[in-house]
Structure 1
Amino acid sequence: MYLRLLLTFVIMFAGLLLPPFFAVLSTAQQGMLVELPNILFMLVIILSHFFKQGRSGFAALLMLVAYNVIQQRLQTPLAVGSTLFEYYFLVLLLPANLVLLLFLPERSLFSFKALSYHAIFILQAAVFYWFIQPEQLPLVTSLLTAIEPWILVFGDVSVLPNILLGLLICAVLIAAILMLFRDVSSDQAFLSALLACTLTVVEFEQQWISASMFTISAIVLLLSILKRSHEQAFIDDLTRIPGRRALNIELAQLSGKYSIAMLDIDRFKKFNDAYGHDIGDSVLKMVASQLATVKGRGRVFRYGGEEFTILFKGKSALDCVGYLNEIRVLIADYPFQIRQPVERREPQEEGANNTDSCREEFIEKTVKVTISIGVAQERSSTTSPDEVIIAADKLLYKAKESGRNQVCA
């Protein structure tokens, strides 16, 4: 996660090197590059609708509007008309809305539940449109005169007052912290959008800066949608390892020598019945995280329920036994702790109502989780992966019948 965070900062700051390359291009090429963010953000909006990733779609919509405000309204000196007011308006509202989206639940872009999101953004757009009308220029001038002593109280950097820069940095830090401490793939794209906004307004006087930074941000948003769509299709939502669909694709491409191990959590149904489904889910996640450390270049998949599959390419079944025993022992020795509720009766005072009084407490206990494993290999070029899985399944049940917590090959 730290590497992804560092990579995001490196990519966005590397975008500062792009504007000089824009200057040497032909007029036609420059025009195409200026339009590129519009195309990319529109593509993100369309894909976000079909892939049900509304927050990324709203982020792309905000960035699209902001980019066009910069291109259409802020290409004149800031001292002219309401340009400075529009610049401040953009610097305040774009990062604020992006941070707001980080905390809002996922909503499909054009769903009924997303109407409140649309209402928030439309209201802001209406206020902005009202302020930029020519007849409002005296009011805008008065507002700027009133707020400038507050905005410039800490000086400025470039054309950006330091107090606004501080707000932008706070927004970037919020996105960075969320990216580190929660597992949401779109957080990286939101961080890139906030960095694009920050670097654009800090280097606002540099030609082509907005086209460079917003293009990179649009690409990161697009990649984020594709990555999350891939995860939804191929990654098991609970255990965060590849699921059955990913396994089927991998099996269809197999060639040469390989072995397949089928694994099952021992007495999982009784465990679920005794401790509840939430604890059962925690067991599945623990087992998956331990299996992911298997050696021998084994690839782990959740086959379904409490059953997992490990695929070893280029190895015989006997080659894999050592790796599988190692992971079996690792899971068996794992100190899995659960909190179990117990009821304690409160002592009654003399003369009090005889109604029983109970209070719920929790006790922590450590339980042992074990797995049984069967592993088989392809016997000839005509042996199909399904046949190998069936053979591994038979060996798995043999391991269970032999006492569980063992490997059969």
Structure 2
Amino acid sequence: MRVHWAALIRLLAPTVIVGGGLLARGYLDQLGDETRIIVANLPYFVAMACLVIAYQFQRLRLLLAAVGTASLFWLIQNYLQVSLGEPDAARLFLVASLGVPLLCAYLLLAPERGLFNTYGLLTAVFFLGLAGLCFVIADGINGADAATRGLFSAKPLEGYILSSGASLLFAAVGFLALVLVIVRDSETEVALAGVLAAGFFSLALLHLDDISVVMGIAGGLSVVWGLLRSSHSMAYRDDLTGLLGRRALNERLNTLGRRYSIAMLDVDHFKKFNDTHGHDVGDDVLKLVASRVKQVGNGGTAYRYGGEEFCVVFPRRSTEDCAAAMDQVRESIANYKMSIRDRKRRPARAKEGSRRRGATKLKSDQVSVTVSAGIAARGDNHPDPESVLSAADTKLYKAKKKGRNCVVY
């Protein structure tokens, strides 16, 4: 399991959104009456925008997160603007304090498979079922022993409303969100972390004026951010390898300065490898190469150019600076041994194969692949990115003619 520590930087966006909401709360009193009416209903407008965008991009988890955020705001505005000493209000507050983390945990763990299909329908039904289950759990807690009721009683601290038990639940789900952010490296998990934080502050600081308004807006904006970033990823990242794609490369080439180098990299004998071992294994090869190229040093950024070709852009670097980094990539790929299972002995059913892997060692062949690379830099003969790219491609062809598994610059 690979860990993407750099993905933690993405948490900066929901942190700024939620933190900005907390700061903005203190200035709402300075708004005029008409403006305050608009702001008070803004969580609903933001949620509607989320629904439209989520529908367009087929993002069910974020659509449900927007519905949940708007529902929490509606619940607080209509039923929790009273003393929590009232039994009905206390019950609904407990339901909300359980529902927000549990529903966020469900959305964090559920895979994304679109809206209009059987799985999407089941995901939505289970989401609503879990929301209903929170009422049952809350009633069970209220009917439990004194110690359990005390653990989930509101106002455990001065200026803090959320119960100790619900606080621990929020902390556990927050940790889960953090783990999934660095494991999956996805905008959806980051957005859901923002929704979780907004829900937490809405309930923990319920005694503060307008806290549900600013956190309702913050939760919705976190979803909007996640949807926009997700759409950007769809447009600019390659689905198979996870690398930035051709569109992102074209935009990057238009922003380069006066000093840079470009490397073109190609998998050797890839068509022959595909014909021998099949396209599934060929895809695994491309993923392997992409994972190694992504780790290139010296400030390089890797892109999938197309097919078995990759491109690396090195800003403010000469060809000599980049050659060592590309050679390390080439060597790491050549030294990696891939195991290919004997397909004839593999069970037809995937579950049977999973069961047998624990007890039966299937015969496998080890293979390795090599890559060739060419590097060119901007200069008098290559004054623009297109000519540098063409020159790097020419150097790549020379590497092939030279015998492959080498870097030419």
Unaligned runs of 5+ in 2: 346-358
Find the counterpart in structure 1 of residue 356 from structure 2: none
Q: Secondary structure at the match of 1:261?
A: strand
> Matched residues in 2 for 1:246 and 1:254: separation?
13
Equivalent positions of 1:278-317 (< 5 A) are 278-317=280-319
Find the counterpart in structure 2 of residue 336 from structure 1: 337
> Matched residues in 2 for 1:19 and 1:385: separation?
45
Aligned partners of 1:53 and 1:109 also within 8 Å: yes
Q: Secondary structure at the match of 2:265?
A: strand
- When residues 148 and 176 of structure 1 are mapped into structure 2, their CA distance, relative to the original with a 3 A threshold, is farther
> Matched residues in 1 for 2:378 and 2:15: separation?
46
Find the counterpart in structure 2 of residue 203 from structure 1: 205
> Matched residues in 2 for 1:363 and 1:124: separation?
45
Shift of 1:252: 3.8
> Matched residues in 2 for 1:215 and 1:326: separation?
48
> Matched residues in 2 for 1:126 and 1:326: separation?
55
Per-residue CA distance 1:274-309 (angstroms, 9 max, x = gap): 444344333322322322333443332111111111
Shift of 1:365: 6.0
Of residues 259, 263, 288 in structure 2, which corresponds to 1:261? 263
Aligned partners of 2:382 and 2:388 also within 8 Å: no
State TM-score, norm by structure 2.
0.78
1:41 maps onto 2:41 in alignment: no
Q: Secondary structure at the match of 1:18?
A: helix
- When residues 114 and 255 of structure 1 are mapped into structure 2, their CA distance, relative to the original with a 3 A threshold, is same
Shift of 1:212: 3.1
The Cα RMSD (Å) is 3.7
Find the counterpart in structure 2 of residue 152 from structure 1: 149
1:102 maps onto 2:91 in alignment: no
Find the counterpart in structure 1 of residue 348 from structure 2: none
Aligned length: 382
Equivalent positions of 1:372-387 (< 5 A) are 372-378=372-378, 380=380, 385-387=385-387
- When residues 408 and 143 of structure 1 are mapped into structure 2, their CA distance, relative to the original with a 3 A threshold, is closer
> Matched residues in 2 for 1:319 and 1:124: separation?
56
Q: Percent identity?
A: 32
Find the counterpart in structure 2 of residue 26 from structure 1: 31
> Matched residues in 2 for 1:181 and 1:319: separation?
32
Q: Secondary structure at the match of 2:391?
A: helix
1:58 maps onto 2:64 in alignment: yes
Per-residue CA distance 1:211-234 (angstroms, 9 max, x = gap): 233333222222111111111111
One-letter code of the match for 2:151? F
- When residues 52 and 20 of structure 1 are mapped into structure 2, their CA distance, relative to the original with a 3 A threshold, is closer
Find the counterpart in structure 2 of residue 349 from structure 1: none
Per-residue CA distance 1:228-267 (angstroms, 9 max, x = gap): 1111111112222211111122234456344332211112
Aligned partners of 1:239 and 1:288 also within 8 Å: yes
> Matched residues in 2 for 1:309 and 1:373: separation?
9
Worse-superposed segment, 247-256 or 148-157: 148-157
One-letter code of the match for 2:50? V
Equivalent positions of 1:179-194 (< 5 A) are 179-194=181-196
